[in-house]
């Protein structure tokens, strides 16, 4: 290796040229050594990395992205952090994105009014795509993002959107809730109550509509339902207490079908600790998502597991594709029966 002198210390502006001189290679070879899957021999890469480590060289990702048509950075916009499934999704998404060489800019969208600002802000960060995970993305917000955006793809993850300028990567809600409805019916329950989350327009779940219509098709009556303003166990507790708290036992539902696990967890706590009833003997409960708490002895929740790893791997395929086509895709998960129903 060539002896290199001159620039040392934390404030030294070490460049790729310095590394090239120290390693006895070209600047182009240094650039390739830091690129994933670039054509370079292991011996040459090791030589470049040794020189870079000795000199304290770190590639300037901003400069590299300016010289390329891709930054390998995506913005991940998230709301409703009270929903435990969001943490599961973020862990899975960021781990798989990182495995494939993609970095993530995490943005907490505080409320509906902040969502449009967050989208515009993301477009100024030279991200390749924006991934939306949440409930506060309506058509007006998406249209504003499309008008001003500098990113290539706007992806709705774990929900479906009818907006033609977005890509939806989600579980097949219709197939999933049809399976849950048939399971509940096969277990002998006849008085279901559906606990839904907030209704949205653009980024939508079809779980409530599917369950109610499936049940009505079999029995001719539509089950009762109530809506919780957010996917929050505490808010779910308040709604379940309000709708069931003063009912006589003879008018109680025999199963609560919940739109996701956050709502189901809140419902279980009310049924056991406020109403003093047993699960599943008095009222059964089902959820959706299979968050880690579902496996706890406190809940043992029957639920539906989304194939998050498969969905995240497909998202990477979408990000890396240069094709112009319909990337919308619905995935099939699996029912996970436990003791709650």
CATH code at position 33:
1.10.260.40
Helix (H) or strand (E) holding 332: none
Nearest Cα to Cα of residue 204 among 161, 163, 175:
161
Nearest Cα to Cα of residue 170 among 203, 127, 129:
203
Residues 177 and 163 both lie in one domain? no
Residues 177 and 300 both lie in one domain? yes
Distance CA 26, CA 220 (A): 76
Number of domains in the chain: 3
Q: Cβ distance 19 to 52 under 8 Å?
A: yes
Cβ neighbours of residue 71 under 8 Å, at least 6 residues apart? 61, 65, 126, 127, 128
Residues 274 and 187 both lie in one domain? yes
Q: Cβ distance 279 to 302 under 8 Å?
A: no
Q: What is the pLDDT of residue 109?
A: 77
* Paired tokens of 37: 């899957």
Q: Is 151 helix (H, G, I), strand (E, B) or coil?
A: coil
Q: Cβ distance 243 to 271 under 8 Å?
A: no
pTM of the model: 0.79
Tell me whether residue 165 is in a domain.
Answer: yes
User: Scanning the structure block, which residue is given the tokens 């099939």?
Assistant: 332
Nearest Cα to Cα of residue 315 among 129, 139, 162, 115:
129
User: Scanning the structure block, which residue is given the tokens 């899975």?
Assistant: 92
Residues 165 and 313 both lie in one domain? yes
Distance CA 53, CA 30 (A): 12
Tell me whether residue 336 is in a domain.
Answer: no
Residues 142 and 78 both lie in one domain? yes
Q: What is the pLDDT of residue 66?
A: 46
Residues 194 and 297 both lie in one domain? yes
Residues 203 and 301 both lie in one domain? yes
* Paired tokens of 202: 């653009």
CATH code at position 89:
3.40.50.2300
Residues 319 and 275 both lie in one domain? no
DSSP alpha helix (H) spans, 124-260: 139-148, 173-186, 207-219, 233-244
Exposure of 73 in the CB half-sphere (CA atoms within 13 A): 19
Which structural domain range is residue 41 located in? Answer: 16-59
Q: What is the pLDDT of residue 10?
A: 46
Q: What is the pLDDT of residue 69?
A: 60
Residues 178 and 301 both lie in one domain? yes
Q: What is the pLDDT of residue 6?
A: 46
Tell me whether residue 271 is in a domain.
Answer: yes
Q: Is 37 left (phi over 0), alpha (psi -120 to 50) or beta?
A: left
DSSP state of 221: S
Tell me whether residue 29 is in a domain.
Answer: yes
DSSP state of 46: H
Tell me whether residue 64 is in a domain.
Answer: no
* Paired tokens of 209: 């509509």
Q: What is the pLDDT of residue 137?
A: 65
Residues 53 and 90 both lie in one domain? no
Tell me whether residue 66 is in a domain.
Answer: no
Residues 149 and 262 both lie in one domain? no
Sign of the Cα pseudo-torsion (103, 203, 176, 180, in order): positive
The string of DSSP codes covering 282-306 is T-EEE-SB--GGGGSTTT--BEEE-
Mean pLDDT in each 10-residue stretch from start to end of the chain (341 residues)? 48 77 87 76 89 81 54 85 91 94 84 66 76 72 60 86 87 97 98 92 78 96 95 97 95 97 98 97 98 96 98 96 92 98 97
Distance CA 280, CA 275 (A): 13
Nearest Cα to Cα of residue 260 among 225, 301, 298, 319:
301
Q: What is the pLDDT of residue 174?
A: 96
Tell me whether residue 235 is in a domain.
Answer: yes
Q: Is 126 left (phi over 0), alpha (psi -120 to 50) or beta?
A: left
Q: Cβ distance 151 to 137 under 8 Å?
A: no
Tell me whether residue 3 is in a domain.
Answer: no
Residues 46 and 123 both lie in one domain? no
Q: Is 21 helix (H, G, I), strand (E, B) or coil?
A: helix
User: Scanning the structure block, which residue is given the tokens 């390693």?
Assistant: 23
């Amino acid at each position: 290796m060539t002896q290199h002198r001159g620039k040392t210390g934390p404030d030294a502006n070490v460049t790729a040229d310095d590394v090239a001189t120290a390693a006895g290679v070209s600047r182009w070879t240094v650039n390739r050594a830091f690129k994933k899957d670039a054509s370079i021999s292991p011996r040459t890469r090791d030589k470049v990395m040794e020189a870079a480590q000795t000199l304290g060289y770190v590639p300037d990702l901003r400069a590299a992205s300016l010289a390329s048509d891709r930054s390998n950075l995506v913005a991940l916009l998230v709301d409703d952090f009270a929903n435990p499934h969001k943490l599961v999704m973020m862990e899975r998404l960021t781990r798989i994105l990182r495995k494939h060489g993609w970095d993530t800019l995490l943005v907490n969208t505080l409320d509906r009014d902040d969502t449009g600002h967050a989208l515009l802000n993301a477009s100024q960060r030279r991200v390749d795509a924006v991934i939306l995970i949440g409930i506060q993305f309506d058509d007006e917000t998406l249209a504003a993002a499309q008008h001003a955006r500098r990113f290539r793809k706007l992806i709705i993850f774990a929900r479906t959107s009818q907006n033609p300028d977005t890509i939806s990567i989600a579980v097949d809600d219709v197939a999933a809730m049809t399976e849950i409805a048939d399971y509940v019916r096969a277990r002998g329950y006849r008085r279901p109550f559906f606990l839904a989350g907030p209704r949205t327009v653009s980024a939508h779940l079809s779980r409530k509509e599917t369950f109610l219509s499936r049940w009505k098709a079999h029995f001719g009556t539509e089950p009762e339902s109530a809506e919780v303003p957010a996917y929050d166990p505490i808010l779910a507790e308040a709604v379940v207490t309000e709708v069931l708290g003063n009912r006589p036992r003879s008018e109680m539902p025999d199963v609560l079908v919940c739109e996701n696990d956050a709502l189901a967890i809140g419902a279980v706590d009310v049924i056991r600790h406020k109403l003093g009833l047993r699960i599943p003997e008095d009222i059964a409960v089902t959820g959706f998502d299979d968050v880690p708490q579902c496996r706890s002895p406190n809940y043992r929740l029957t639920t539906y597991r989304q194939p998050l790893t498969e969905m995240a791997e497909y998202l990477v395929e979408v990000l890396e594709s240069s094709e112009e086509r319909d990337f919308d895709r619905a995935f099939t998960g699996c029912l996970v029966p436990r003791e709650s129903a």
